Structure 1
Amino acid sequence: MIPPDLVSLIEKQPDSIHRTDKDLAVSALEKLGVSPDSEFGSIYINYLPANFKSSVSDEYICDVSEPTEQILMGTEFIHDMWELPENYIGFTSLQGEGGYLLDKNSSGVWDFDLAQQEDFVSGLIPPKWSGFFEFIRWYLSPAE
């Protein structure tokens, strides 16, 4: 369940943020190996994070199912081209040789930079956020 304070923050977004076809999202999450009950899953089943506007990040969050399975394509890219472990999901545009990654095992979120790929794969870089809710809370926070 999404915490009420996070729902309130999301609901303040200016664009259309509510997902209408939840079955498409569930199917796309299954292809990624992500539980619909996870923090990541619950956000993507209920909302369209690709429409979220951030004042603290220039990274664009992709959608899991509409209009295409952008996250699946990005995830295949980071596994094939960047040689990242299979438990990581790339959920942002991944331009500029980096982006935000979710570890579907731990739910941690990383601000990944390809220049640190070796240290990242070796486990030397800890997650920046302990979970997806924490990440979204930061992403939607006002700039200071």
Structure 2
Amino acid sequence: WKRYRLPLGLRGLPIVGNLLDIGAVRFRCFSEWSKQYGPIMSMWFRSTLNVIVCSTELAKEVLKEHDQKLADRPRSRSAEKFCRNGQDLIWADYGPHYVKVRKVCTLELFTPKRLESLRAVREDEVTARVDSISRIKAQ
């Protein structure tokens, strides 16, 4: 742990990390562990290191002070296939490309007029999704 200067936390197993340590309600586990390790702790979910902040005040401070560092999302090989190597809006790393794509979406796609014009499409998609889930559940 000292090599990486990480907060205290549970040591994970190879491959699975701390997945076997987490109970049915993970937030209760985090709360219990914070009593032992403090309000900021590190743990491994599979092979990904995560830093958990269990204090509202600290979370606000961390998100305010380190927002640029925390804006990116971890990538997996399967996600890369579907997100055009991180170039779409949802998976893009924060930077010039993300700012440009978000600006286009804000100015062109998310205007009240455009949203209203696409309302029927959204309603049809939601209805189709609910019907699909209902059919799966009935089987």
TM-score under structure 2 normalisation? Answer: 0.26
TM-score under structure 1 normalisation? Answer: 0.26
Which has the larger Rg?
2
Greater fraction of residues in helix: 2
